Structure 1
Amino acid sequence: MAPGMGKEATSACLAGQAALAARLLKRISSEAAAAGNNLVFSPLSIHVALALMSTAAAGDTLDEILRVAGAPSREERAAFVRDTVVDGVLADQCGIGGPSISFACGTWTDKAWPLWPAYVDAIVGTFKGNSWAVDFQNEPKESRKQINAWVAKATRKQINAQVFNPEDDDNADTVHAIANAIYFKGEWRNPFKKENTVDREFHRLDGSSVEVPFLQSWSYQCIACHSGFKVLKLPYEMMNEHNWKLYDSLPRFYMFVFLPDGKKGLRNIVEKIASSPAFLHDQSTTYPRSMSPSASSGCQSSS
C-alpha cells in the first residue's frame, strides 16, 4: 500500500487500473483480430499517461479522465502512481540481482503554449519525468523525430519504430504530446536450457499450423488447470542477497502463459479477461502452491 494513502483509496486505484486494462483489451483485441494482427500493449503505460494528464486538467475534463482511470481523486491517483508504481513496482532491482527495470516519462509542448510551473514540478517530482518545448506548428517533422529518439533511448533501443511519423503533416493541431516507456529485463528463476528446445506444431486461429521452436523443461513448474484452459506461472529471479526483510518488501514478477485446451479457444480466454477485471487478479493471487513437472501430462486442479 502506498505511504500516506488509505487502504480503500489504494484498492480503488488498483481496481480502476484493472478495469481500464480489461476495457482496453476488449476494444483493441477485437480490432486486431479482425485485421488478423497480433497485439502487444501496456495498460500500465496508458494508466500512467492518464494520471499525468489529470494533473493539469480541471472541470469536466478532469472528471472524465478520473472516470476512465477509475480513480477516486486526482491527488490519490498521483500518490498511487508515485509511491506504488514508479517508486515501488518499477524500481530497478538489478543492483541486488533482480530484474533490470527503468521507467521514463516525457511531455512535449508547443513553445507557443508553455506549461504551468506547477505542472512541470509534478512531471518531475511525481512521475520522475522531463518536459520539453518544441515547435509542433512550424517544425513538426523535427519535433516528432525528437520524440522518437527519446523513446529509443528510454527503451535502450528496444523500440526503434516511429512512434510518431515525421512525414505525417496532416495534423496541425498538436500542442502537447505525452509518452512513457518501461524497460524490463529479467532472468528466469528456473531458466530453460537451449539444448532442450524442440520444434513442434503451433496452431493458428485461421486453422493453419506452423512448426515453431518450443521451450521445454523437466523442472517443476506452477501449472493450474481450469475449465477450458491452463495457466503456467513463470517466476523471475529476485535478489541474490540474504536479507529477508528486504526480500519481503520487494515486488515479485511473473510471466503468466494462458493455454486454451482447444485449438480455437484463445478467443474465449480473451473474453474472460476482458469481461471480468478481477480475472487476472484472481489468477495471480489465488494460485495453487502445488507444483507439477511442465513436461508431464499431469496437472494440479484449481477452482
Structure 2
Amino acid sequence: MSARKIGLLIGLAFALLITACAPLPPQPTPTKPSSGDIIPVRSGKPYRSPANVPETNLQALIEGNTAFALDLYQYLRGEEGNLFYSPYSITLALTMTYAGAAGQTAEAMAQTLHFTLPPEQLHPALNALNQRLTTPPTPPNPEEPPFELHIANALWGQKDEPFRSAFLDLLAENYNAGMQTLDFPADPEGARQRINAWVAEQTRDKIRDLLQPGDITSRTRLVLTNAIYFKAAWRYPFKPEDTREGDFTLLNGQKVRVPMMHLNKELAYAEGEDYQAAALPYAGGDYEMVVLVPTTGQFKAFEQTLTPQRLNEILTRLEPTQLDLTLPRFTYDARLSLKSALEAMGMKIAFDPDRADFTAMSEYPGLFIGNVVHKGFVAVDEAGTEAAAATAVIMERTSMPARSATLRVDRPFIFLIRDRQSQSILFIGRVLRP
C-alpha cells in the first residue's frame, strides 16, 4: 500500500468497524462571531512548499502514525456506540503542541505518538506528507470526479502571552499555521465561538461545536487546532435502485432494519479465520476505504488483536476478487475527549500542571495541556464518502504565584504621579518628614 493512502485510510477504516445510526437532524448554521477584536500574528517565515524530504523519513513517520492510530483505538474501543475519529488530525494537532514541549514532557509525547525522527526531521516530514496527501494525481483522470482533501491548521493565543518566535516560526514553515490572538480571560465564550466558527468553515460546516461550553476558560492561553475535510466519489458507485432495507445484527444479537447498498464488482478482498476484508477505491485519487468485518461472535477478540502488524498482514492479503458486496448506508458524528486516553498511553506529564514543560512555546512557565478534544463526521452513501474531523489542543496555565515581599514606608521616600499611557511624569516629590 502506498504512503499516500495510509494517513486517512486508518481513520476511515475504523469508521466501519462499528456500524451506523440514523442520519442526524438538521442543525442551524453557526453564526460567525465578529473578528474585529482578533489580531492576526504571523511569523515572518514563509511556508515551505514544496517540502522535499528523504523517502525513508516519510516511511518512518507513516509507520509511527499508524502505530499511534491503533494504540489510540485500543484505548477508545471501550466507548459506547459508534466510533469515528481521524488519527491524522489528532497527530497534526499534537505534533504542533510537541513543537513547544521540552525535557521529559517532549520525551513522553514523542514516545506516545511513536515519533522516531528527531524534531528537525519530524516536522518537515509531516509537512511533506501533508503536501503529498493533498496533491491530486498527475495527470488527473478526466472521466472520474476529483476527490477533495483539505487540511488546515491554526493557533489561537492569548493576546499578551510572550510566545517564542522559534515556536511560531516552526509552525509557520511546516504547518502553514498562523496565530490569531484572543482574550480568553476577558471573553472565554466569545473565543470558543470564534474557534468553532473557523472549524465549521474549514470542514464545510460538517464539524460544529467542536468546543463545548466550559472547554475554554479564563485559564486558557493557547488553542492549537487542526481541521480536515475529505469528499470522494466511489470509482464503482452503488446504484440507488439496488438499495434495500435489510437486517443488521447488533453485538447483542438484536436485529435492526437499515438501508443496505449492493454492488457486484471486482474488488480487492481477503478473508481469514476471524474476518473478511474488502477495499473500495475512490475515483480521482489514490484513496480507498478498507472494510474490516470480524466473524460473528469475534468482534471484541478481533479488536484486541488489531495491531500494526495484524493490519499490515490483512492489507497485504487483499487481492482482486469478484465480490458481491452489501454495505449499510450511514451518517453519524462522534465527539471525544482524549485526555484520559492520552494520559494512559504515556502522556500524563503533559497534562500535569506541576510537571508539564512547554517552555519552548512561551517565555512564561506553567503551561500544560488542559484537554484534547476531537470530533469526527462521516457519511457513506451510494455516491461516495464525505468525512471531516477537527482536533483542538487546549493549553492552560495555573495561576503563577505572586512574588512575596514586605515594604514598611518608615523612612524618607520619593514619590511621583504619572500618566501610564504616555509615561509622562506629572508630579514628583520627596517626603523627608511626613
TM-score tier after normalising by the smaller chain length: 0.7 to 0.9
Query: Following the alignment from structure 1 to structure 2, what is the Cα–Cα distance between the partners of residues 137 and 93?
Result: 46
Kept in 1, the 8 Å contact 2:192–2:216? The answer is: no
1:291 Cα shift?
1.4
Query: Following the alignment from structure 2 to structure 1, what is the Cα–Cα distance between the partners of residues 164 and 138?
Result: 36
Residue 269 of structure 1: aligned partner: 302
Query: Following the alignment from structure 2 to structure 1, what is the Cα–Cα distance between the partners of residues 249 and 122?
Result: 42
Structure 2: any 5+ residue segments left out of the alignment?
A: 4-50, 327-434
Letter in 1 for 2:263: S
Q: Which has a greater percent of helix?
A: 1
Kept in 2, the 8 Å contact 1:188–1:234? The answer is: yes
Query: Following the alignment from structure 2 to structure 1, what is the Cα–Cα distance between the partners of residues 228 and 281?
Result: 19
1:217 Cα shift?
1.2
- 2:91 matched to 1:47? yes
Per-residue displacement from partner, 1:259-297 (whole Å, max 9, x unpaired)? Answer: 1221x3322222122xx222333333x14333123259x
Residue 270 of structure 2: aligned partner: 224
Query: Following the alignment from structure 1 to structure 2, what is the Cα–Cα distance between the partners of residues 98 and 123?
Result: 29
Higher alpha-carbon Rg: 2
Per-residue displacement from partner, 1:90-113 (whole Å, max 9, x unpaired)? Answer: 335699343111001111111121
Query: Following the alignment from structure 1 to structure 2, what is the Cα–Cα distance between the partners of residues 278 and 10?
Result: 18
Residue 245 of structure 1: aligned partner: none
Per-residue displacement from partner, 1:228-261 (whole Å, max 9, x unpaired)? Answer: 110011001126xxxxxxxxxxxx2110111122
Kept in 1, the 8 Å contact 2:184–2:217? The answer is: no
- 2:177 matched to 1:133? no
Residue 235 of structure 2: aligned partner: 189
Residue 320 of structure 2: aligned partner: 290
Q: Which has a greater percent of strand?
A: 2
Kept in 2, the 8 Å contact 1:99–1:238? The answer is: yes
Residue 202 of structure 2: aligned partner: 154
| TM-score, normalising length: structure 1 | 0.82
Q: Kindly tell me: are residues 256 and 213 of structure 1, through their superposed partners in 2, closer, same or farther at Cα, counting changes over 3 Å?
A: same
Query: Following the alignment from structure 1 to structure 2, what is the Cα–Cα distance between the partners of residues 212 and 205?
Result: 15
Structure 1: any 5+ residue segments left out of the alignment?
A: 240-251, 297-303
1:176 Cα shift?
1.1
Kept in 1, the 8 Å contact 2:156–2:223? The answer is: yes
Q: How does 1:49-88 map onto structure 2 within 5 Å?
A: 49-71=93-115, 72-84=117-129, 86-88=130-132
Letter in 1 for 2:170: A
Per-residue displacement from partner, 1:179-205 (whole Å, max 9, x unpaired)? Answer: 111111011111110000111110111
Query: Following the alignment from structure 1 to structure 2, what is the Cα–Cα distance between the partners of residues 15 and 295?
Result: 30
Q: Kindly tell me: are residues 115 and 23 of structure 1, through their superposed partners in 2, closer, same or farther at Cα, counting changes over 3 Å?
A: same
1:61 Cα shift?
2.0
Letter in 1 for 2:53: G
1:50 Cα shift?
2.0
Q: How many residues align?
A: 272
Residue 5 of structure 1: aligned partner: 54
1:73 Cα shift?
1.2
Kept in 2, the 8 Å contact 1:93–1:100? The answer is: no
Q: Kindly tell me: are residues 170 and 107 of structure 1, through their superposed partners in 2, closer, same or farther at Cα, counting changes over 3 Å?
A: closer
Kept in 1, the 8 Å contact 2:127–2:175? The answer is: yes
Query: Following the alignment from structure 2 to structure 1, what is the Cα–Cα distance between the partners of residues 91 and 195?
Result: 20
| TM-score, normalising length: structure 2 | 0.59
